[in-house]
Structure 1
Amino acid sequence: MPWSSDGDNGGSWKPGNPGPWGQGPSKPTPPDLNDWMRRIQNWLARYSPGGGLHVGGIAILVVIGVALWLLSGWYTVGPNEIGLNKVFGAYRGKTTPGLNYNWPYPVGAVSKLGVTDRNAINIGFTTRPDFTHTNASTQVDVAEESLMLTADENIADVKFVVIWQIDPTRPEDFAFNVANPRDTVKAVAESAMREVVGRTQIQRILTAERKNIEPAVQALMQGVLNDYKAGVLILQVQLQSVDPPDEVIAAFRDVTAAQQDQDRLRNVAEAYANKVVPEARGKAAAIIQEAEGYREQTVAEAKGQASRFDQVYAQYKKAPDVTRERMYLETMERVLGGANKVIVDNPGGQGVVPYLPLPDLGEAAKTTTPGAGQ
């Protein structure tokens, strides 16, 4: 209907009119189904006898529709995805990245899962955007998740992060066996952490056992999820903080500092022991070696003297007088060898004049006089 400016309609625009400035309506006009049907009938009339829609034309139309419906079953899977084919809602296999085919809707359906995407779940805290700073977030504690009971009936405030992904070997388990996988992973993580913390004393949690908690929780989580057939792979468990409650945190920090001092002093003592013990062992080994050398020397000398005595005794038995005289002379030689002596070979002692060494006595007096005066 054209634009009208008479008084009956007041110059108003009606649907289907181009408007006074040659512009159509702002909303798109829905397609005219009758017009589409007339075009299809005209197209089929060209190939059907009598110009009407007969069985042949309907068959061609059905074949074209079926062909288009079958072609709609092609789909692509991304490089980080795995496709799960379903036929009438039942799982029929998985497809690799690339171009794949499955029965089109409503017979078939495809679910695509990002098996290489890593997901993180915060337990004990959550992050919220900080509107006072751009691209900043604030951490909000969740006490009902972080407070856990230890083996010695203390309370520990544990915050940690679980990093997981879909198991690329069993993505169908992730898609069909668990209704809400993320909530399941979070519940299993909290339960595993409570079990590990519940069998450990708080002092060990805060100090020595802290490095062993992460792998223990990861192994326990993986075992539980495998029993569930959840199709989830736990990559890492990261402890963010392990602290006592705020009311006693100062006292526990003092205990931790004392424990660290104890470890430091122990390390110093061990270092000193590692220095002193080898030195003592070296000295002991040197003394032992010296004693062994002295023993060998003494034994060798004793054996030599015994061998010499045996040799002398053998010669003595052959010629006792000669051997006795030779032994006497050798003994006197050793005794009188270093003495100032005069030997007079006169059996009667006649002709010997006593002699007093006066010059020697005078020299001795000169050398002793200065010392006596002082």
Structure 2
Amino acid sequence: MAWNEPGGGNSNDQDPWGGRRGGGRQGPPDLDEALRKLQDNLNSLFGGRKRSGGDGGAGKGGGVGLLAIGFGLLAALWLYSAVYVVDEQEQAVILRFGKYYETVGPGLNLYFPPIDRKFQDNVTRERAYTKQGQMLTEDENIIEVPLTVQYRVSNLQEFVLNVDQPEISLQHATDSALRHVVGSTSMDQVLTEGREQMAGEVKERLQRFLDTYKTGITVTQVNIQSAAAPREVQEAFDDVIRAREDEQREKNQAEAYANGVIPEARGQAQRIVEDANGYREEVVARAQGEADRFSRLVAEYRKAPDVTRERLYLETMQEMLSNTSKVLVTGEQGQNNLLYLPLDKMIDSRAPAASAVAPSAQAGAAEPASRATVDLQRDLRSRESR
């Protein structure tokens, strides 16, 4: 029989809602009574006083269950925050009680907050920042120099622990290194071809500063862009640059002219030297030949004086008469002398003489040998007259 059927049970039995049936009363459960029981359970859980008339065992069991649920939620949240993943390009530095504990590589890892603190960052990514400022050069000119610095974190432990704000320190060190290099360089070098050398010097000095501070940063590249003068004096700087370009152009033209004239003059000088050497060798050889010829002629004359004398006389007369344009024909006893001018021969001999003129130096070289021959002939005639 159901509990609420008439006559189905003892009037002292309780219904499922905790109330007693009395006087044949039937109806829905009492909501106020259920709310009171829930309030008693919450009070017992948080240390409050329990209402009188409630079930103490039921309140105690409900408080323990809620407490276990709360601890379970807290443990799940802690575990969720304690487990972390480090990528291939990252590293993590763990501090335990504020002191360095370890550096963690890629993979799934666990740490224990709040006693541990974790600093995780990318150690392979190239980072960059741009800076521009007015600098004073070595020759006391003000110019604006823009540059870009590329860097990466090479030591995460030093990057996290040694310097409070390492990237701000990097910017300050860059400013110091750039001003030092620009201050020791002339304006021409900064504006023209000296930028690459300046970039290397800035990189070297900047890396030395960062290593001294132990920032854990490695500078990979420093790019100095085109420097320019301040806007207030830009026109004057442009005039100076144009004047220097004109100066360089004039120098290039002068060097090109010198490169064309000097080799030509050297060639002419070398040709003159070679001609002089050739002339010297020719004169020496001709003189040696004439001397040898004269020596042989003397030897022949000693063997046959009459024949040699006659031959020398005929050769001399032939040489003399072949070089003159006048012919003298004499009669007997010096009478009826006739001067004959062969005009046709004179005209024919003039053209070859004009086209092939012998150098005066060669004629001068042959003169000593001819003079020796004439002296020998004169000596022979004097002997005949005796």
Q: TM-score band (shorter)?
A: 0.5 to 0.7
Q: Would the aligned equivalents of 1:102 and 1:110 in 2 still touch at CA under 8 Å?
A: no
Match among 100, 123, 131 for residue 115 of structure 1 = 123
How many percent of aligned residue pairs carry the same amino acid? Answer: 37
Give the aligned CA root-mean-square deviation in angstroms: 4.2
Which residue is equivalent to 1:234?
219
Read off the aligned partner of 1:111 and give its amino acid letter. Answer: F
- Is structure 2 residue 166 aligned with structure 1 residue 157? no
Quick check: 1:207–1:256 contact (8 Å CA) kept in 2?
no
- 2:104 and 2:305 map into 1 onto residues whose CA distance is 118
Residue aligned with 1:225, SS: helix
**Counterpart of 2:176?**
191
Instruction: Report the alpha carbon displacement of residue 185 of structure 1 after superposing the two structures with TM.
Output: 0.9
Report Cα offsets for 1:328-373 as digits up to 9, x if no partner.
Answer: 33222322346686989x9xx48x9959799x99xxxxxxxxxxxx
Partner of 1:328: 313
CA drift at 1:308:
2.5
* 1:244 counterpart SS class: coil
Structure 1 residue 114 displacement after superposition:
1.8
Deviations 1:68-120 (A, max 9, x none): 97x99875432333344555554455455x42656554565553332222222
> For residues 25-77 of structure 1, what are the alpha-carbon distances to aligned partners after superposition, in whole Å with 9 as ceiling and x for unaligned?
xxxxxxx985466689xxxxxxxxxxxxxxxxxxxx9xxx9xx97x9987543
Could you tell me which amino acid in structure 1 is paired with residue 128 of structure 2?
A
Please give the secondary structure, in 1, of the residue aligned with 2:227.
strand
Across the two proteins, how many residue pairs are aligned to each other? 276
Which deviations, in whole Å up to 9, do the C-alpha atoms of 1:139-189 show, x marking residues without a partner?
xxxxxxx2333334443333322222223xx34322322221111111011
1:221 aligns with 2:206: yes
Contact kept in structure 2, 1:85 and 1:102, CA below 8 Å: no
Alpha carbons of 1:307 and 1:252: their partners in 2 closer, same or farther (altered >3 Å)? same
Letter in 2 for 1:298: V
| Partner residue in 2 for 1:247 | 232
TM-score by length of 2: 0.57
Distance across 2 between alignment mates of 1:83 and 1:323: 123
Q: Are the structure 2 counterparts of residues 309 and 231 from structure 1 closer, same or farther at C-alpha, using a change threshold of 3 Å?
A: farther
AA aligned opposite 2:129: I
Residue pair 2:97, 2:115 contacting (<8 A) in 1 also: yes
Q: Which has the larger radius of gyration?
A: 2
Contact 2:329 2:338 survives alignment (8 Å):
no
Q: How far did residue 262 of structure 1 move?
A: 1.4
Q: Aligned runs of 1:276-295 on 2, under 5 Å?
A: 276-295=261-280
Query: Contact 1:74–1:99 at 8 Å: present in 2 too?
Result: no
Return the letter of the residue paired with 2:91: I
CA distance in 1, matches of 2:338, 2:315: 31
Structure 2 CA distance for aligned equivalents of residues 271 and 121 of structure 1: 46
Pair 1:81-2:68 in alignment = no
Q: Which runs of 5+ in 2 are unaligned?
A: 1-61, 344-386
Taking structure 1 as reference, are residues 83 and 307 closer, same or farther at Cα in structure 2, changes over 3 Å only?
farther
Paired residues of 2:329 and 2:339 also in contact (CA < 8 A): no
Which string of whole-angstrom CA distances, capped at 9 and with x for unpartnered residues, describes residues 229-260 of structure 1? Answer: 22222223233453333332221221122112
Alpha carbons 2:327, 2:339 under 8 Å: kept: no
The within-5 A match list for 1:14-93 is 34-35=64-65, 76-84=85-93, 86=95, 88-91=97-100
> Gapped runs of 5+ residues in structure 1?
1-31, 41-60, 125-145, 362-374
Query: What residue is the counterpart of 1:14 in the other structure?
Result: none
Greater share of helix: 2
CA contact (8 A) 1:102 1:109 kept: no
- Taking the aligned partners of 2:175 and 2:253, their CA distance within structure 1 comes to 40
1:190 is displaced (CA, Å) by 0.8
Identify the residue that residue 159 of structure 2 maps to in structure 1: 174
Whether the 8 Å contact between 1:116 and 1:166 is mirrored in structure 2 is yes
8 Å Cα contact 2:196-2:224 kept in structure 1? no
Q: Match of 1:151, SS?
A: coil
